């Protein structure tokens, strides 16, 4: 049927009554309307209701607009999980500008690169980072205006900006008449990937994608108006996996947290009856291995979502005994944070914890808000068989894949070749359709021509009762090409020898996978808790 003959294409157009761009801005608007007096944000002694949170975000938007900032401009924020960071997630997009949440553990050089690349017009920075910020700005030809977050709970740094955040808010009106994006494809966020080599890449997210991914989190993690979400995951990390927006969509409660401190986490869980929290595996380990005197028994269950590495069975079981139910999510900055979930099957209800851990180690299936996933050969784009064995690259398609990398069409085209987003993660597809990441492409160790998954060896090490964390990398070897090199952090106070480690591995994995080198040390991590294998690889090379 031609368009002209189609009765469904006549006088049935989009208009203000039936079409509105999708954007998370509407979430806070609705929660302020439905739950105006309900507590939205808790931080130390501070409390903001939904009406206040909304009004403060509008003030921020008004202040930015008053300074001439809007569509196409970047506002950067370098802050821990404080209310100002949450407000920026609404106030910046309400002004039309793009929010660039920056990793607060970055060095001055990287920060300078990001501010320049993003063409940041205004930087809101917590006083704690004043030194590194000052150093970064020092070398810039046209540095951004700086606004200080002057938090009484912060014991470090000094104010170095034009004014403080509260004074900035005072420039804007609480009823500032913000606009929606003209097009839902418009950019809402810019997040730099923590690339271990080369310059960071700026991932551009749209209003549409942010809206849909936030809905995806609600569905995957079971958020509701009664949810009380504790901010153990950095908000700069994929906009806090879009939970900044998701929790706001439900009208639940944000409980902010300046630093990941186990004692503080346990007491907040008890005090606010926290229902949900997210974190890298290191957060789970911190809770598990917290000193006895800070641990608390609480009378409810806490849902914990983790990603970045599969939680070992010992961790799942020990967390469960402490009151935490662990869900395994997977995603990348390029997918707005988590976008797959190891979805529970009812028949697992009766599984023992070992079997369960095996199932839950998998990254699983796509969210309802993602479109499709495949494991395929990145060259031929042919799918691998669903045999749980054949390794291919994990690829994704859908509305919650980034728009692309800012000012980097080459990297964008490379990431999207063949019409799929190439994650760079290698994995298998199980007969039930669930995917399991086996390694990053660069993390595979090839020893004597055999592929060794560093993840498999790490999984084995993790299960050792005296091991807190472990990372495995390739060490150049004249005879084998590469050999397995393990870096291990024992649990505090536990004595552990190389012989014990090797004996343990001999019991659990194939001989050629046993580490030939074992080093006991702390592991270098990114600010999001990811182990920086790059540095370990460098160390292994020099040994």
Q: Which of residues 53-82 bind a second copy (CB under 8 A)?
A: 70-73
Stretch binding a second copy (CB under 8 A), from 257-265, 277-285, 317-325, 365-373 = 365-373
Sequential DSSP letters for 47-84: EEEHHHHHHHHHHHHHHHHHTT--TT-EEEEE--BSHH
- What is the nearest approach in angstroms of a second copy to the Cβ of residue 343? 5
Binding residues for a second copy, rule CB under 8 A, total: 72
Beta-bridge partners for 43: 46
Binding status of residue 493 toward a second copy by CB under 8 A: no
Cβ distance to a second copy smaller for residue 16 or 152: 16
Residues 415-454 that bind a second copy (CB under 8 A): 415-416, 419-421, 433
Which stretches of 102-259 are assigned E, i.e. beta strand? 120-126, 145-149, 163-164, 187-192, 202-206, 228-230, 253-255
CA 115, CA 106: separation in Å to the nearest integer? 12
Asked if 263 touches a second copy (CB under 8 A), the answer is no
Q: How far is the CB of 404 from a second copy (least distance, A)?
A: 4
Among 34, 170, 263, 441, binds a second copy (CB under 8 A): 34
Q: How far is the CB of 317 from a second copy (least distance, A)?
A: 23
Nearer Cβ to a second copy (401/496)? 401
Cβ within 8 Å of residue 417, ≥6 positions away: none
Closer residue to a second copy (CB): 383 or 498: 383
Does 385 help bind a second copy (rule: CB under 8 A)? Answer: no
Q: How far is the CB of 425 from a second copy (least distance, A)?
A: 16
Query: Which residue from 515, 512, 412 is spatially nearest to 193, judged by alpha carbons?
Result: 412
**Nearest-angstrom CA–CA distance, 474 and 470:** 14
Residues 196-225 that bind a second copy (CB under 8 A): 204, 209, 215, 218-219, 222, 224-225
DSSP H/E element including 99: strand 98-101
Which CB atom, from 36 or from 476, has the smaller least distance to a second copy? 36
Supply 138's token pair: 């020092």
Least gap, CB of 433 to a second copy (angstroms): 5
In the complex, minimum distance from the CB of residue 474 to a second copy, in angstroms, rounded to a whole number: 31
Degrees to nearest 5, angle at CA 130 with 535 and 244: 75
**Residue nearer to a second copy on the CB measure, 395 or 531:** 395
Looking at residue 143, the DSSP 8-state letter turns out to be P
Q: Which stretch binds a second copy (CB under 8 A): 31-39, 77-85, 302-310, 513-521?
A: 31-39
Least Å distance, CB 17 to a second copy, is 4
Residues 189, 230: Cα–Cα separation, whole Å:
22
Contact set for a second copy, span 391-420 (CB under 8 A): 396-399, 401-404, 406-407, 409, 412, 415-416, 419-420
Assess 35 for contact with a second copy (CB under 8 A): yes
5: contact with a second copy by CB under 8 A: yes
Nearer to a second copy, 267 or 345 (CB): 345
CB 517 within 8 A of CB 480: no
Report in angstroms how near the CB of residue 332 gets to a second copy at its nearest.
13
Say whether 111 sits in a helix, a strand or coil: helix
- Binders in 175-194 for a second copy, by CB under 8 A: 185-187
Is 280 within 8 Å of 299 (Cβ atoms)?
no
Angle between the N-to-C axes of helices 353-360 and 313-322, in degrees from 0 to 180, rounded to the nearest 10: 110
Member of 18, 141, 350, 380 binding a second copy (CB under 8 A): 18
Task: Determine if 10 is a binding residue for a second copy (CB under 8 A).
Answer: yes
Cα diameter, the chain: 80
Write down the least CB distance from residue 159 to a second copy, Å. 30
Q: Which is nearer to a second copy, 76 or 186 (CB)?
A: 186
Helix (H/G/I), strand (E/B), else coil: 434: coil
Compare residues 372 and 446 and give the one whose CB is closer to a second copy: 372
Among 371, 384, 517, 526, binds a second copy (CB under 8 A): 371
* Inter-residue contact 168 to 65 (CB < 8 Å): no
Residue list 110-169, contact with a second copy (CB under 8 A): 119
In the complex, least distance from residue 116 CB atom to a second copy, rounded to whole angstroms: 12
Q: Which of 141, 45, 140, 24 is nearest to 92 (CA)?
A: 24
For residues 398 and 368, is the Cβ–Cβ distance under 8 A? no
Residue ranges in 286-345 that form contacts with a second copy under rule CB under 8 A: 343-345
Site membership for a second copy, residue 49 (CB under 8 A): no
Give the strands of the sheet with 46-49, arranged side by side. 46-49, 39-43, 253-255, 228-230, 276-279, 302-306, 324-332, 337-341, 365-366
């Amino acid at each position: 049927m031609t368009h002209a003959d189609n009765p469904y294409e006549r006088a049935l157009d989009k208009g203000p009554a039936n079409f509105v761009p999708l954007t998370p801005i509407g979430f806070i608007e609705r929660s302020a309307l439905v739950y105006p007096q309900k507590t939205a944000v808790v931080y130390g002694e501070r409390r903001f209701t939904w009406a206040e949170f909304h009004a403060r975000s509008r003030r921020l938007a008004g202040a930015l607009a008053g300074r001439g900032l809007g569509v196409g401009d970047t506002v950067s924020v370098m802050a821990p999980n404080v209310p100002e960071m949450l407000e920026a997630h609404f106030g910046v997009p309400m002004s039309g500008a793009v929010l660039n949440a920056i990793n607060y553990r970055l060095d001055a050089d990287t920060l300078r690169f990001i501010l320049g690349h993003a063409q940041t017009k205004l930087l809101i920075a917590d006083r704690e980072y004043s030194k590194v910020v000052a150093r970064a700005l020092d070398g810039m030809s046209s540095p951004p205006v700086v606004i200080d977050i002057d938090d009484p709970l912060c014991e470090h740094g000094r104010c170095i900006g034009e004014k403080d955040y509260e004074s900035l808010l005072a420039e804007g009106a609480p009823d500032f008449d913000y606009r929606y994006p003209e097009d839902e494809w418009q950019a809402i966020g810019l997040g730099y990937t923590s690339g271990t080599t080369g310059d960071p890449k700026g991932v551009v997210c749209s209003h549409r994608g942010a809206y849909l991914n936030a809905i995806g989190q609600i569905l995957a993690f079971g958020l509701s108006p009664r949810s009380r979400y504790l901010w153990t995951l950095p908000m700069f990390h994929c906009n806090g996996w879009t939970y900044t927006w998701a929790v706001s969509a439900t009208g639940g409660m944000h409980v902010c947290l300046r630093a990941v401190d186990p004692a503080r986490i346990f007491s907040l869980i008890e005090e606010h009856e926290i229902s949900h929290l997210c974190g890298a595996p290191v957060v789970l380990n911190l809770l598990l291995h917290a000193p006895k005197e800070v641990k608390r028994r609480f009378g409810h269950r806490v849902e914990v979502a983790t990603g970045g590495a599969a939680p070992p069975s010992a961790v799942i079981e020990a967390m469960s005994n402490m009151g935490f139910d662990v869900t395994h999510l997977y995603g990348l900055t390029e997918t707005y944070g988590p976008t797959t979930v190891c979805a529970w099957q009812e028949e697992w209800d009766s599984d023992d914890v070992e079997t369960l851990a095996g199932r839950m180690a998998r990254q699983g299936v796509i969210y309802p808000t993602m479109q499709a996933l495949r494991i395929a050969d990145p060259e031929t784009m042919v799918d691998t068989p669903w045999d749980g064995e054949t390794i291919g690259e994990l690829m994704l398609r859908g509305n919650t894949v980034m728009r692309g990398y800012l000012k980097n069409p080459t990297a964008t085209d490379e990431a999207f070749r063949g019409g799929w987003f190439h994650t760079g993660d290698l994995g298998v597809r199980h007969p039930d359709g669930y995917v399991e990441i086996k390694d990053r492409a660069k993390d595979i160790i090839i020893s004597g021509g055999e592929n060794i998954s560093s993840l498999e060896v790490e999984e084995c090490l993790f299960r050792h009762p005296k091991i807190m964390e472990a990372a495995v990398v390739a060490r150049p070897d004249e005879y084998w090409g590469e050999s397995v090199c393990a870096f291990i952090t024992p649990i505090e106070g536990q004595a552990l020898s190389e012989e014990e480690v090797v004996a343990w591995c001999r019991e659990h994995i194939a001989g050629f996978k046993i580490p030939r080198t074992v080093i006991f040390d702390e592991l270098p991590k990114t600010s999001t808790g990811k182990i920086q294998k790059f540095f370990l690889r460098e160390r292994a090379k020099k040994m």
